[in-house]
């Protein structure tokens, strides 16, 4: 699996001969090893032209753009592998069939609660007292059923997530509190970190989905097209605890991220450039971690798990073979 490259500085990104380089505003030139790039993430104010877009298309590399406050701004995707009428038809059919949609939504909710619970259990085992929250998460799991209306499933997920976010205050040092989840803009450090992490998970899910010709706007738990690429929201829910939250806990608990890595303005608190760099680096390292995959009989990276999730969904839709949501097994 190829790597993501993040650009934090302001400047220009351009094609030069058969590679891509970043020229920062202070004149520094950095080359991107485009041959083994999965996607570029642009976080700064960066100029580019159509020549670059054509080149990225040819190389099959995606480019995700991040704005300042509303982190994810959009993607420029390579056209290869993006269309398959049959796949879209099967996606829509499953959406239109109430029972089928509920079943998929329930699978996503149960996977997502499972992965939240895994984090709670891990930190409970490391001296935090999270029994209440674990009980709440288990109670939520028991309420999930294939035949519940989607808004009820959403409600169960929201309840579970509330219990899960309570664990943050136990897991993290006292000066970092998460009184409640807020965004647009995030009011404090932890909300800001959750938002940034989730947007990275989300963008990586966009890449994974586009590699499979699934239509990113047709989703099951979230309402299709309700916000951005809603299928990405569905898949991201499964992976946020495994990717974003674990990076957040690690960096804050080890003091690798401190208050100095944030910029606080009236009513908003955002990671500054150094903070985003620290976070992205740890996030990419996590994506590159590998785990033994029982069905594939080999080690796969966390990043590849996203791709496999898209494969699983597509296979389910095209073949009718059961869809088992990603549940952390290690």
Partner 1 sequence: MTDVDPVIRLLETARGNPVDEPFRVTGVMMQYYHVCERELWFESRNLEIDRENPTVVRGTRVDDTAYGEKRRNLHMGMISLDLLEDGRVVEVKPSSRLTEPARMQLSYYLWYLERVAGIEKDGVLAHPRERKREPVELTDERRATVEAAVRGIHETVTRETPPPAEEKPFCDSCAYHDFCWC
Can you give the binding site for partner 1, defined by CB under 8 A?
81, 84, 86, 213, 295-296, 308, 311-312, 314-315, 318-321
Instruction: Tell me whether residue 84 or residue 264 sits nearer to partner 1 (CB atom).
Output: 84
d(CA 44, CA 249): 25
Instruction: State the nearest-atom distance from the C-beta of 318 to partner 1, in Å.
Output: 6
Compute the least distance from the CB of residue 31 to partner 1, in Å. 22
Considering the complex, what minimum distance in angstroms separates the CB of residue 62 from partner 1?
15
> What's the min distance (Å) between Cβ of 309 and partner 1?
8
Type and span of the H or E element at 134: helix 131-143
Smallest separation, CB 301 to partner 1 (Å): 12
Which CB, 2 or 170, lies closer to partner 1? 2
Enumerate residues 6+ apart whose C-beta is below 8 A from 100.
93, 94
Q: How far is the CB of 311 from partner 1 (least distance, A)?
A: 5
Closest C-alpha among 50, 46, 12, 15 to residue 28: 12
* Residue 191 vs 204, nearer CB to partner 1: 204
| 50 vs 295 by CB, closer to partner 1 | 295
Q: Counting Cβ atoms within 10 Å, is residue 58 exposed (0-12), middle (13-18) or buried (19+)?
A: middle
Contacts of 226 (CB under 8 A, 6+ apart): none
Q: Which residues make Cβ contacts (< 8 Å) with residue 39, sequence separation at least 6?
A: 4, 5, 61, 62, 63, 64, 203, 204, 207
Closest separation between CB of residue 283 and partner 1, Å? 23
Residue 51 CB: number of other CB atoms within 10 A?
Answer: 10
> In 181-301, which residue ranges form alpha helices assigned H by DSSP?
189-210, 230-239, 246-253, 273-288
Compare residues 60 and 225 and give the one whose CB is closer to partner 1: 60
Q: Which residue has tokens 């080359």? A: 31
For residue 22, which of 48, 1, 57 has the smallest C-alpha distance? 48
Nearer to partner 1, 35 or 47 (CB): 35
Q: Which is nearer to partner 1, 2 or 146 (CB)?
A: 2
């Amino acid at each position: 699996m190829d790597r993501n490259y993040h650009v934090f500085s302001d400047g220009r990104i351009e094609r030069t001969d058969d590679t891509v380089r970043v020229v920062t505003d202070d004149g520094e030139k950095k080359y991107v090893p485009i041959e083994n790039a999965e996607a570029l993430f642009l976080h700064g104010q960066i100029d580019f032209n159509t020549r670059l877009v054509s080149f990225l298309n040819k190389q099959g590399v995606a480019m995700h753009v991040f704005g300042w406050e509303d982190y994810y701004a959009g993607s420029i995707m390579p056209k290869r592998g993006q269309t398959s009428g049959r796949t879209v038809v099967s996606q829509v059919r499953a959406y239109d069939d109430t029972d089928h949609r509920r079943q998929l939504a329930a699978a996503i909710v149960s996977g997502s609660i499972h992965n939240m619970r895994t984090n709670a259990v891990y930190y409970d085992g490391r001296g935090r007292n999270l029994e209440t929250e674990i009980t709440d998460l288990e109670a939520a799991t028991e309420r999930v059923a294939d035949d519940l209306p989607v808004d009820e499933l959403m409600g169960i997920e929201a309840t579970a997530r509330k219990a899960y976010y309570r664990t943050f205050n136990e897991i993290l040092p006292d000066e970092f509190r998460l009184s409640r989840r807020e965004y647009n803009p995030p009011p404090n450090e932890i909300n800001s970190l959750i938002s940034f992490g989730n947007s990275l998970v989300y963008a990586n899910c966009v890449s994974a989905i586009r590699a499979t010709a699934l239509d990113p706007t047709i989703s099951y738990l979230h309402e299709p097209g309700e916000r951005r690429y809603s299928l990405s929201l569905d898949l991201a829910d499964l992976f946020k605890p495994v990717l974003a939250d674990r990076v957040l806990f690690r960096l804050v608990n080890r003091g690798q991220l401190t208050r100095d890595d944030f910029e606080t303005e009236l009513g908003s608190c955002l990671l500054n450039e150094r903070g985003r760099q620290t976070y992205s680096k740890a996030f990419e390292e996590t994506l590159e971690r590998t785990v033994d995959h029982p069905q594939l009989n080999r080690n796969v990276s966390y990043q590849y798990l996203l791709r496999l999730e898209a494969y699983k969904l597509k296979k389910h839709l095209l073949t009718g073979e059961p869809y088992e949501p990603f549940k952390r097994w290690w």
